[in-house]
A and B are shown apart, each in its own frame.
Chain A
Amino acid sequence: AQSVTQLGSHVSVSEGALVLLRCNYSSSVPPYLFWYVQYPNQGLQLLLKYTTGATLVKGINGFEAEFKKSETSFHLTKPSAHMSDAAEYFCAVSGGTGGGNKLTFGTGTQLKVEL
């Protein structure tokens, strides 16, 4: 079975500070991992993905994430937060039972960026 745990439902950072959003996963198969961002009243936008190969993946808007198998983690980082980064972020894992390539999401982390 697949599951995702996102530690910290709310994270607040100052503009220009490091952003770190935590994600731990559980998967019965080699995981494909994703980070999505959701702005208010909108759908989800794909930030980045890990499938196989290089464990450090770069995404849009300056975000990156590192797959650490030994820690079953896929934390999202950005060196310098911008006001426009304020949104909800979801980590997801693909595959497992239920068929298809269903995504199993975490409960999300609301990122607040303060001046």
Chain B
Amino acid sequence: ETGVTQSPTHLIKTRGQQVTLRCSSQSGHNTVSWYQQALGQGPQFIFQYYREEENGRGNFPPRFSGLQFPNYSSELNVNALELDDSALYLCASSLSSGRYEQYFGPGTRLTVT
């Protein structure tokens, strides 16, 4: 059984640029959630996708957007990058959109300069 994978591992971008992060969910999981973890903080919920539809969103601006594909993999897109967007971005998959446990990938470390 393959776990949650994320790419790339690390990324450096310049303020104002756009970035796309990718996530492959665990086999059999149809729900993907994205979290932002700033240095020294707990993860903050960005949004969740269930069967290709957004199924909940945290307190993040519209320049954070996402997609889920028919194979349940997902992308997180961030436009107009700001310095404060520098963080570890974590993807988690779960069996469904109910209150199932979430399994996390290793994360993508984004640095905005």
Contact = CB atoms under 8 A, between A and B. Distances in A.
Interface string A41-60: 11111100101000000000
Interface in B64-113: 90, 92, 94, 97-107, 109
7 contacts: A42-B106, A44-B90, A46-B101, A98-B58, A100-B56, A102-B45, A107-B42
Interface of A: 4, 32, 34, 36, 41-46, 49, 51, 90, 92, 94-95, 98-108
Given A41-B109, A105-B44, 14 more contacts: A43-B107, A45-B104, A46-B104, A49-B101, A98-B56, A98-B57, A98-B58, A99-B48, A99-B56, A100-B56, A100-B97, A102-B33, A103-B102, A107-B42
Interface residues of B, number: 32
A43 B98 contact: no
A51 B107 contact: no
A106 B55 CA distance: 22
Q: Taking each of B6, B43, B100, which has the highest tally of chain A beta carbons within 10 Å of its own beta carbon?
A: B43
B58 A43 contact: no
A32 B101 CA distance: 9
Nearest to B56: A99
B42 A102 contact: no
B58 A102 contact: yes
A32 B98 CA distance: 11
B16 to A, nearest CB: 27
Q: Taking each of B33, B44, B45, B50, which has the highest tally of chain A beta carbons within 10 Å of its own beta carbon?
A: B45
Contact of B99 (A42, A43, A44, A95): A95
B41 interface: yes
Nearest to B107: A43
A44 B44 CA distance: 13
B24 interface: no
The 6 closest A-B pairs by CB, nearest first: A99-B56, A105-B42, A100-B56, A100-B48, A43-B104, A102-B45
Given A95-B99, A105-B43, A100 B104 contact: no
